[in-house]
Amino acid sequence: MQSSTWRVRSCIRCELASRLTRPRHRHRHHTPPMDTNASAAGEQRITRVLFCGPHFPASHEYTTQYLQSHSFIKVDVLPLEHVPQAIPNYHVCIVKSMKLDSHIISRAARMQLIMQYGVGIEGVDVEAATKHGIKVARIQSHATGNSASCAEMAIYLMLGLLRKQNELQISIQQRKLGEPITETLLGKTIFILGFGNIGMDLAHRLRPFGVKVIATKRSWTSCTQHTSKLIRSNVDDLVDERVNHEDMYKFVRKADIIVCCLRLNSETVYGFIQSFIVHYFRYFLLVFFHFLFHYRYKKSAGIINNDFISSMKKGALLVNIARGGLMDYEAVVKHLESGHLGGLGTDVAWNEPFNPDDQILKFKNVIMTPHVAGVTEHSYRTMAKAVGDVVLQLHAGQPLTGIEIVN
């Protein structure tokens, strides 16, 4: 009996000694993209990809299909409210419409890459991601057909407003023929705000309509870097008048239709304020300019505000295929009610999903689409491939290609 007891105690002491001397594996902030449950017997390492939220479902569906033959890649879709708790388990995050602030990013202990399924990354705290060693990237629109799709949507919204789409439906219900009288694009002046990839594709497609194109861009020298196969023409062949930000207000009043193709970031707000001051208050002191910028940046909803719309030609149309935050909601409603703004065609809203009972939809000269300008079969399949290829590169420890890393 004593011998048996001695053997038990001896085994316990051996086990305790083994545990004390066994090496401890601590997970540092940037571990390789592998499943920590992988056994020493050679179980496959897993790279986990998180898509945030249920909206834009084709993004995660097409990416899952593209990666379905790779068992070492796991793609999940979680409700937005579950992301903060689950994000520590993932190596790649596709934000879509999620707002990733510094608090959420600080929890992403294994995160290697945060991506947008497209261009806009205004919802990501890039500084916080950089602080935690996480790369942030977007997919270039010209490489996927996204910019071409958005350009087509802009033309669709223009034509819908000119041809009075909502009133046409009323005429059908009332069994009227030949009513109402509509307008054509022929001879119109189009002002493109933001001559990036989408703006260039739009200008290219507008040429056959017999319009005059005015465009604004922060740096016109960068136009030569555009690589779209659809656009090989010189910029002078696409744009009749090139405008810098400081001269914006001189040309706004010339346009029959203004199309917003800008990204939503602090630079767009800053650029607008600079142009406003230069045009109206050229002799203000620089110190006051900076004061006004910081004040305006907090108060303004975007560059399409009361001052901007007031400067537009009476009856001119506004089209937005960029971001809802670029428009001041109250200013738009005010000018629709007064009749100064001839119509609004927008693919984006101030709050998404948009409230179908919102007062702005009661105007007959408002056309809204549910953020689908870039949501086409071609663009989403191409973006799914871009995301899938990057995930495979990350898993293999290879350089990341096909995306634009911003930090």
Q: How confident is the model at residue 293 (pLDDT cuts 50, 70, 90)?
A: very low
- In the chain, the percentage of residues whose pLDDT exceeds 90 is 66
Opening angle at CA 141, ends 136 and 145, nearest 5: 140
Closest by CA position to 91, among listed 67, 69, 108: 108
CB 336 within 8 A of CB 360: yes
DSSP states along 158-197: HHHHHTTHHHHHHHHHTT-SS-S----STT-EEEEE--SH
What pLDDT is stored for residue 223 in this prediction?
58
The model carries a pTM of: 0.78
DSSP states along 283-340: TS-HHHHHHHHHHHHHH-S-SBSHHHHHHSPTT-EEEE-S-GGGB-HHHHHHHHHHT-
Better pLDDT: 251 or 22: 251
Residues 14-48: pLDDT tens digits? Answer: 554 544 444 443 333 343 444 544 544 445 799 99
Lowest mean pLDDT among 92-96, 246-250, 337-341: 246-250
CATH H superfamily, domain 47-143+378-405: NAD(P)-binding Rossmann-like Domain (3.40.50.720)
What pLDDT is stored for residue 278 in this prediction?
44
What pLDDT is stored for residue 264 in this prediction?
76
What pLDDT is stored for residue 263 in this prediction?
79
47 phi/psi in degrees, rounded to 5: -105, 125
d(CA 86, CA 82): 6
d(CA 299, CA 295): 6
Residue 287 clears pLDDT 70, i.e. is over it: no
> Given the DSSP bridges, would you call strands 47-52 and 73-78 parallel, antiparallel or unpaired?
parallel
Residues 352-382: pLDDT tens digits? Answer: 889 999 999 999 999 999 999 999 999 999 9
Q: How confident is the model at residue 246 (pLDDT cuts 50, 70, 90)?
A: confident
What pLDDT is stored for residue 244 in this prediction?
84
Question: Do the two domains 47-143+378-405 and 146-265+298-373 of this chain adopt the same fold?
Answer: yes
Instruction: Please check whether the domain covering 146-265+298-373 is classified as CATH 3.30.460.10.
Output: no
Residues facing residue 215 across a β-bridge: 192, 242
- Amino acid at position 100, single letter: L
d(CA 85, CA 395): 23
Q: Share the mean pLDDT of the chain.
A: 83
Residue extents of the structural domains in the chain:
47-143+378-405, 146-265+298-373
